[in-house]
Chain A
């Protein structure tokens, strides 16, 4: 048996709201997937982890502004379709009045 997944906790961390049906389905499917990946633990792997394969480290570029890639405030707020106000993006309330 793979590790028991706390679906509710993971959904909160992932900022996802799940329906009860999704909750049940994911619990079973994620267990199934974890059961599959347990095969990794049959391999001895006392080696360094590889997070990327290019071998490149600390890549930098000239610290100059490329105006071609600058977006105006209008262009940026236009992307937030209908949710901008006087040049700003409108966000949902995150702090409760009682907090």
Chain B
């Protein structure tokens, strides 16, 4: 059997198209690894019990239609799905005991689109319960461990999906982001993660967290895969009124960068001395790569991230308290007593912020500052193509770090929250290692400028090889 390790979408398709491997062999490669690795890392919570039959059927289709990828670009490719996307007939729990045993009666639009594109669902990955967190440590089904070092966290909330890509337990994975939940675990696990513009990908059938910023997106082995996946996922959806009218007609294709025309902004508030000095050093080295190609790079000033942390904390808790009010254990799921500590804490603060007498002081004030954050970005993007910064202030923290920290997630995502509040698009690409743990670089663009961000990310990956490093898991 040819080399099947760390396959990208393109390399997997080539092996399948040339019949060097079958879909069933590819699936069995992952199943064998999952059986060996998963018990030690808790990445997948549940597997698709029918994957081998589906793979065998896919092989029959390839035999009769060797050009199937022209119409179904993900045909026969096994993927991992975060535990907050509904899949008809599958137990989906948002990694909370409240939904333990809940069998989804319909599928999320994202899942429908992946199925139509021919992808095969391998299994469901762990996450922070209700996506409340940046560690995957608050899952009611135990923490996921970082494939680079088991003593460390994978980040979150899409930590299971990021770890599944890093540990080579799928070709690609799907996650969702409210403020950093794709990009931060991508950074901590050393994979490529992409957050499309808010409204580009449908939220229908995704367990709601903060509806005004929830954005599904891909985690994969490189930028090109993220671009292709975004083309599959994006689109206007009649079942999600916030999807953008033009979303269906956009092709997400990274193109060659005309460096002399590129202007990049480095916010000085995002390069603060409070950050891990090793992270800062690696990001500066990455910036030098863009400069060496001829890009114009300027230091700029954005609103201090402490304001976006405060806005996000109020807006997110408020939307959470509203979204989670539907879980009363009557029509489905279990009673509210099953909510974990973190969900209860967030519901409590959100309920307070929306309660009579406090609404103006907290919720309305936060929404006004949100306008200022959006305007702040608009001004930058009048003159610049993208913003470059670290994804996370540090490398993956140790297991136990999030315990009893009421604002753990907010502080880990302080360099990402503003972009989520403003609905921007952003990419996390690996840019080096510190203490043998990966570091991520964020490339953030104005709303609906995915192709600018993806092109810069692809160019960076052509000039570097950090995205081709994978942890050596010897079990």
Residue positions of A touching B, CB distance < 8 A = 3, 5, 7, 10-11, 13-18, 22, 25-26, 29-30, 32-34, 36-41, 43, 45-54, 56, 59, 61-62, 66, 69, 71, 75-76, 79-81, 83, 89, 91-92
Contacts and interface: CB of A to CB of B under 8 A. Distances in A.
Contacts of A26: 344-345, 348
Given A14-B348, A43-B307, 7 more contacts: A17-B336, A30-B349, A50-B370, A53-B198, A61-B241, A69-B106, A91-B330
B253 to A, nearest CB: 23
Nearest to B350: A14
A78 B344 CA distance: 27
Nearest to B405: A29
Contact of A41 (B106, B332, B365): B365
B310 A79 contact: no
B159 interface: no
Contacts of B238: 61-62, 66
Contact of B367 (A10, A51, A61, A62): A51
A14 B347 contact: yes
Interface stretch (B8-16, B177-185, B292-300, B351-359): B351-359
A45 B347 contact: no
A66 B321 CA distance: 30
Given A3-B358, A10-B355, A39-B307, A16 B365 contact: no
A51 B244 CA distance: 16
B309, B355, B422: residue with the most chain A Cβ atoms closer than 10 Å:
B355
Contacts of A92: 330
Contact of A40 (B241, B344, B369, B371): B369
Majority secondary structure of chain A interface residues (helix, strand, loop or mixed): loop
A36 B313 contact: yes
B331 A7 contact: no
B325 A15 contact: yes
Interface of B: 101-103, 105-106, 198-199, 212, 238-239, 241-242, 244-245, 306-307, 309-311, 313-314, 321, 325, 328, 330-332, 336-337, 339, 341, 344-345, 347-349, 351-352, 355, 358, 361-362, 364-372, 374-375, 404, 406-407, 421-423, 447
Contact of B313 (A7, A33, A59): A33
Given A15-B336, A39-B307, A71 B331 contact: no
B370 A49 contact: yes
B272 to A, nearest CB: 16
Contacts of A15: 325, 328, 336
A38 B330 CA distance: 38
A61 B421 CA distance: 27
Return the 9 tightest CB-CB contacts between A and B, nearest first. A49-B367, A53-B423, A45-B368, A59-B241, A29-B406, A79-B332, A37-B310, A14-B351, A50-B371
Contact of A36 (B101, B241, B345, B407): B407
A10 to B, nearest CB: 5
A54 B309 contact: no
B374 A32 contact: no
Residue in B239, B347, B349 whose Cβ sees the most chain A Cβ within 10 Å:
B349
Given A10-B351, A16-B336, A40 B244 contact: no
Contacts of B349: 30, 33-34
B364 A49 contact: yes
B371 A45 contact: yes
B423 A54 contact: yes
A56 B241 contact: yes
Contacts of A17: 336-337
Given A48-B371, A53-B212, A79-B102, A13 B337 contact: no
A31 to B, nearest CB: 10
B404 to A, nearest CB: 8
Contacts of A80: 330-332
A37 B313 contact: yes
A77 B3 CA distance: 49
24 contacts: A13-B351, A15-B328, A15-B336, A16-B339, A16-B347, A22-B341, A26-B348, A33-B349, A36-B313, A36-B407, A40-B311, A41-B361, A43-B307, A45-B369, A45-B372, A47-B368, A47-B371, A47-B372, A49-B364, A50-B367, A50-B370, A53-B423, A59-B241, A81-B101
B365 A30 contact: no
A11 B348 contact: yes
B369 A89 contact: no
A29 B309 contact: no
Contacts of A5: 352
B371 A49 contact: yes
A22 B347 CA distance: 13
A14 B321 contact: yes
A66 B306 CA distance: 45
Contacts of B105: 71, 75-76, 79
A1 to B, nearest CB: 14
Given A26-B345, A54-B199, A39 B368 contact: no
A29 B345 contact: yes
